[in-house]
Amino acid sequence: MTADVGALDLKEAGTVLAAEAARFAAFGWMRGTSGNLSVVLSRDPLRLAVTASGHDKGELGPDDVVLVDGRGAAVRGGRPSAEAELHARVAALTGAGAVVHVHTVASVAMGRREPGGIVFRDLEMLKGVGQPAHGVEVTLPVVANSQDMTELGDRLAAARDPRMPAVVVAGHGLYVWGADPRQARHHTEVVEWLLELTLAEG
């Protein structure tokens, strides 16, 4: 939606995240109240707008967002997602301006099939995550799930590949990031396409 994420205020961020959530919900990637999105509002100190907990992601409005700090704790607004701490960790670790967490069937299925990581090669869609279409192998890491966000963040930090702006959390879903909400959305759509193709090929 905007490249200059630092210029957003909380309500503007809520409008952006509501639109992005509605798109993902329409794909069936945020069923029920699952999934969460965030956008970085400032770096020093780190502050993120995160979708509020317990809301249908296809029906969010501009106020359904919470301002959180670098530990994922609420600074202003209601109750953030339980995974807000992981969003903050990803933003700090990768320099991302936006983080997407969706619960897709393909990510869970492929995480079970390939617990050591999902390898992609010789696919034109790899260009969508900044990689060559041919001649290289790119691995999407898979990490074990945990309800402890600090532990899960440690696993993500240890496993992530800088060439792939995404990680599968086994039995849970997909975390993807980008410089801003638009790039994070594009990365999410590309990674999900790669997962769906690989799953279909068996």
């440690």: which residue's tokens?
154
Whole-prediction pTM: 0.93
Question: What's the pLDDT score for residue 202?
Answer: 82
Q: Kindly tell me if the per-residue pLDDT of 90 is higher than 80.
A: yes
User: Which stretches within the chain are classed as H helix?
Assistant: 10-26, 84-94, 105-113, 149-159, 181-201
pLDDT digits (tens, 9 = 90+) for 149-183: 999 999 999 999 999 999 999 999 999 999 999 99
Q: Kindly tell me if the per-residue pLDDT of 93 is higher than 50.
A: yes
Q: Report residue 76's pLDDT band, with 50, 70 and 90 as the boundaries.
A: confident
Closest CA to 24 of 107, 106, 102, 82: 102
Question: What's the pLDDT score for residue 80?
Answer: 82
Mean pLDDT of the chain: 93
Peptide bond into 45 cis (omega under 30): yes
pLDDT digits (tens, 9 = 90+) for 99-151: 999 999 999 999 999 999 999 999 999 999 999 999 999 999 999 999 999 99
Q: Under CATH, which architecture does the 5-201 domain have?
A: 3-Layer(aba) Sandwich (3.40)
Question: What's the pLDDT score for residue 118?
Answer: 97
The rounded distance, in Å, linking the Cα atoms of 193 and 159 is 21
Question: What's the pLDDT score for residue 161?
Answer: 93
Q: Kindly tell me if the per-residue pLDDT of 7 is higher than 70.
A: no
- Residue 105 and residue 87 in contact, taking contact as beta carbons nearer than 8 Å: no
Give residue limits of the domains in the chain. Answer: 5-201
The arithmetic mean of pLDDT across residues 187-195, rounded, is 98
Question: What's the pLDDT score for residue 4?
Answer: 43
